[in-house]
Homo-oligomer: A and B are copies of this chain.
Amino acid sequence: MPRASSRDALITTFGRLVEAHDVLARRLSASLELGCGIPLTWFEVLLRISRADQQLVSMTVLAEQVSLTTGGVTRLLDRMIAAGLVTRVPCPSDRRISYAALTEAGAARLTEALAIHRKDLSRSFDGFSAIELAQLDGLMDRLRHATPEQ
């Protein structure tokens, strides 16, 4: 009969993952907000757009990328448009689709945010060896694709 502490190792590990995520996300978001006036979510949106083919992302795709519903993204974009960082661009070939695109101000803000975020991350991961970082990267990559099955 295994001890509870051994049977519940996964519960503890997952709990630590949640805690690590919460701590980091809070800290990094607060830093971005303080340093360039946008929360982590906005940064993620700006980054996704900038990396996309043609610098355009549809609402549905963006929703998947940032782990929100399409309804959530609609309103998120509304706020970012009000802040002048992004625009909606209608798709010429399919009028159901509207793309999100960066404004010049959005691209500039992303540049600022990237500098801050890089610095914050090197601080947060200070003390981690290259090998550990590679392990972390590999583990997270597998985990995010882990079988949703059943």
Residues of A within 8 A of B (CB): 7-28, 44, 47, 67, 114, 117-118, 121-128, 132-133, 135-137, 139-144, 146-150
Contact B17 A21 (CB under 8 A): yes
Judged by DSSP, the binding face of A is helix
CB pairs A–B below 8 angstroms (22 shown): A9-B137, A10-B133, A11-B117, A11-B121, A13-B136, A13-B140, A16-B141, A17-B21, A17-B24, A17-B136, A18-B44, A19-B144, A23-B67, A23-B144, A24-B146, A123-B149, A125-B146, A127-B142, A128-B142, A132-B139, A135-B135, A135-B139
Assembly stoichiometry (copies): 2
Instruction: Tell me if B140 and A67 are in contact (CB < 8 A).
Output: no
Report Cα–Cα, A10/B140, bound state, in Å.
Answer: 12
Shortest CB–CB separation between residue A46 and chain B, in angstroms?
A: 12
A121 touches B17 (CB 8 A): no
Selected contact of A124 from candidates B20, B22, B147, CB within 8 Å: B147
